[in-house]
Amino acid sequence: MNVGVVGLGLIGGSIAKGYKADKNAVHKVYGADRDNIMLDYAIMSGAVDEKLDENTIGECDLIFVCLYPKATMEYLEKNSKYINKNALVIDSCGTKREVCEVGFAMAKEYGFTFVGGHPMAGTHNSGFKYSRATMFSGAPMVIVPPVFDDMELLDRVKGHLAPLGFKAISVTTAASHDKMIAFTSQMAHIVSNAYIKSPEARSHKGFSAGSYKDLTRVAQLNPDMWTQLFMENGDFLLDELDNFIENVTAYRDAIKNKDEELLYKLLDDGRRIKGEIDG
């Protein structure tokens, strides 16, 4: 299979390496990146075979667009006319509504198949040097197809993604994805990023353990990417922020008012809900 990867950062680099490491088939990987030095390095390292451009994109059976949301939409609008009509195109953005709107429109106009994608894996580090062939092994993958009842398309997507080793593939709508991701991912990054701004943070050494590390791991985020994701998903994210502020305020008020009974109830409710969620 000929695979094109646009954007050779953490996710794109891991996708390229994953297909090259497939023991069940030989894949040719074409790569594109705005950093020509990085692209040359990816080729020299064996993760990419050739450069992906308007002359080679038509040879690809499968294309991953691994860019920030705005850049993904711009790439599709500029390059869709070169894509093979038999190709499957998947993006990897953390929000889906705006990207899928453009992707589905381009696919309809030029005849290829577009499916929104969000691989649920990664690290707080970014860049090709942190990418690895096993990044997606055992991880979930969320897809947003143009229609839900096209089982042939879903089988095609699963088959094309098989070399990356995803444990499960979930199918949803763009709006449902964005609503859920506001809670599961975006809020976690905001809470972590805000928490680390405490004036005590710089002198925490010797006083912190696992809970501190768990809560602050994603504070070291990529501000360019997350700003785009937060702004594009502002409606759902604001709902989650308002809910969180209300809950945190309840803890604050209980402590301020020395209401031990209420504080106990708030803590016990959180403990109980966590237990129910985790089974």
pLDDT at residue number 93: 96
Residues (pLDDT < 50) of the chain are: none
Q: pTM here? A: 0.91
| Gap between the Cα atoms of 80 and 111, Å rounded | 9
Q: Are 69 and 95 in contact (CB under 8 A)?
A: yes
Residue 207 class from Cβ within 10 Å (0-12 exposed, 13-18 middle, 19+ buried)?
Answer: exposed
pLDDT at residue number 278: 87
pLDDT at residue number 52: 98
Q: Are 53 and 25 in contact (CB under 8 A)?
A: no
pLDDT at residue number 279: 78
